Amino acid sequence: MAAGMESVAVDDQESNAELVLFQVKECYVYMIPPRKSAGSYKADEWDINKWA
C-alpha cells in the first residue's frame, strides 16, 4: 500500500433510502371485474358496493 493511503472497510450491506411520494389517511379498494372486451376498463361498469 502506498504511503498516506488508508484502507477503508466497506459494509456488506447497502444503505437504502426510502422516499414517500404519496400519503393518505383513508382509501377505498374495489373489486374490478374482468374486462368484457379488448377495450379499456370503464368505471361505470364497476359495482362500487363490492369491497375488497
Dihedrals φ, ψ of 16, to 5°? -105, 145
Nearby residues of 51 by Cβ (< 8 Å), 6 or more positions away: 28, 29, 30, 31
**pLDDT number for residue 7:** 55
pTM to 2 decimal places: 0.30
27 located within any domain = yes
**pLDDT number for residue 52:** 57
Convert 1-52 into a string of H (helix), E (strand) and C (coil).
CCCCCCCCCCCCCCCCCCCCCCCCCCCCCECCCCCCCCCCCCHHHCCCCCEC
- Please tell me the total count of domains within the chain: 1
**pLDDT number for residue 24:** 92
Residue ranges in the chain whose pLDDT is less than 50: none
Nearby residues of 29 by Cβ (< 8 Å), 6 or more positions away: 51, 52
6 located within any domain = no
Domain extent, residue 44, equals: 23-52
39 located within any domain = yes
**pLDDT number for residue 9:** 57
